[in-house]
Amino acid sequence: MIGLSDKAAEANPALAAWLDGCGLAVTLFRASEGGRTAGPAIYARADAAQATGRDVVIDFGAAPTLVRATAATPALLAYGYEDLAFGNALVAELVRPAFRPAAGEPESAATLIFAARIAASDASVLLLGETGTGKEGMARYIHAVSPRASGPFTAVNCAALPETMLEAILFGHRKGSFTGASGDGEGLFRAADGGTLLLDEIAEIPLSLQAKLLRALQEREILPVGAVRPEPIDVRIIACANRDLAAEVEAGRFRADLYWRLNVVPVNLSPLRARRLDIRAIAAAMLLRHTPAGMAMPFPTAAALDRLMNHAWPGNCRELENVIQRALLLHSGERIHAPDLIIDRAATAPEAAALSLGAAARSAEADAIRAALDEAGGHRLRAARRLGISERTLRYRLAEMRAVAA
């Protein structure tokens, strides 16, 4: 639970809506009465004396700066209306749990809530999505909020392992079972015992090995290479695929029975181009991660944010991280400006059109929301139903519209 002081909420009315849209539960408290929450809290500058090392103090209206927290002192974050969008995203990144992926879209927050629900079981999970959409981060989150959190999290990229050694790497081997096997090898299933094993790029496992993987999932036991007796295992499997596994089954490249065993709970991660508000949150997280110690973190300008949020991001989060790292190395001055964002593209001419289309899309969205509210007589739930979105998403969109108009 994130605490938000009454003075901080009053100074920045859009902040509570942003945090709610990120899926971070917020409770208001009166700092003047000494109240707070068990988790991190957000204070106004006037109440900074009450903040501890895990909190954030906001100096709203001041020039954009960030002084990072220490064990004894809270983070001090200053920003005003010009930097409202990025500043609010930065607050969320400073207070969110480290194991929780960054999120700005309400739909992404809903996916995290769903992931936390399925984490309570031992059911296999299949994470689907393009390369770079954050599948490993989601797998780590599921592990972190599961009953297996105290156990190991072991990740393996199946495409990166030599096919001839894949069986021994996964299931282990006995001494002398093949040339060079001078001792026993426990294998990744055994290394993950009591925890979670992430099998990334699962579609790359050869058909000859898929039957053995299926047996490990069904019987909860493995047979190391060269062994004569199976060994019990206690492992939760999360698999990732950036290809359509159903199509791979249809083409005969993936076993149907293994597909259904893995696909107990599918979670589809949308590409970054479909998660516009996540871009702002992830950019904030990456700036925090990659700004060198002792260096003041440069805030992106509104034009720089527009450039980020209107790019198609074919490389998804990995491409965004590359752009942020380049900007930190190459920018001049105290801010990151749009020209500092060197984005790979086949041609630069379409960029102006993309920015124009982005602005047009935002304007059309605002017009549709206003029309739905008018038709619903100002009733938000009915307006949300007309728009085909949740009331929570509508509240978030309204808060963003107010922030842009301020």
Query: Is residue 64 predicted with pLDDT exceeding 70?
Result: yes
Kindly report the CATH number assigned to the domain that includes residue 70: 3.40.50
Query: Is residue 360 predicted with pLDDT exceeding 70?
Result: no
How far is 76 from 59, CA to CA, in rounded Å? 7
What's this model's pTM, rounded to 2 decimal places? Answer: 0.82
Do 161 and 209 reside in the same domain of the chain? yes
Query: Is residue 318 predicted with pLDDT exceeding 70?
Result: yes
Q: Is residue 121 part of a domain?
A: yes
pLDDT confidence tier of residue 346, bands split at 50, 70 and 90: very low
The per-residue pLDDT for 283 is: 97
pLDDT tens digit sequence for 372-392: 787 777 888 888 777 767 777
Closest alpha carbon to 323 in 333, 313, 310: 313
Tokens matching residue 381: 């739930």
How far is 280 from 353, CA to CA, in rounded Å? 21
Q: Where are the beta strands (DSSP E) in 80-152?
A: 125-128
- What percentage of the chain carries pLDDT values higher than 70? 90
Q: Is residue 282 part of a domain?
A: no
What is the number of domains present in the chain?
Answer: 2
How far is 329 from 326, CA to CA, in rounded Å? 5
The per-residue pLDDT of the chain, averaged, comes to 87
Query: Is residue 179 predicted with pLDDT exceeding 70?
Result: no
Do 147 and 261 reside in the same domain of the chain? yes
How far is 316 from 313, CA to CA, in rounded Å? 5
Do 87 and 140 reside in the same domain of the chain? no
Q: Is residue 330 part of a domain?
A: no
Q: Is residue 23 part of a domain?
A: yes
pLDDT tens digit sequence for 230-257: 899 999 999 999 888 999 999 999 999 9
Instruction: Collect all residues with Cβ–Cβ distance below 8 Å to 83 and sequence separation of at least 6.
Output: 64, 299, 302
Tokens matching residue 172: 């282990």
Q: 70, 100, 130: which is the final residue of a domain?
A: 100
Q: Tell me 185's DSSP state.
A: B
Amino acid at 198: L
Q: For residues 118-139, give the mean pLDDT.
A: 94
Contact 286, 322 (CB under 8 A): no
Do 117 and 184 reside in the same domain of the chain? yes
How far is 142 from 99, CA to CA, in rounded Å? 9
Do 37 and 166 reside in the same domain of the chain? no
Q: Residue 299 pairs with which residues in a beta bridge? A: 335
The per-residue pLDDT for 377 is: 76
Q: State residue 325 phi and psi, 5-degree precision.
A: -65, -40
- Strand 26-29 versus strand 41-44 pairing type: unpaired
Structural domain boundaries, residue 139:
106-268
Do 88 and 150 reside in the same domain of the chain? no
Q: 251, 268, 285: which is the final residue of a domain?
A: 268
Do 114 and 4 reside in the same domain of the chain? no
How far is 338 from 390, CA to CA, in rounded Å? 33
The per-residue pLDDT for 138 is: 97
The per-residue pLDDT for 82 is: 93
How far is 325 from 287, CA to CA, in rounded Å? 8
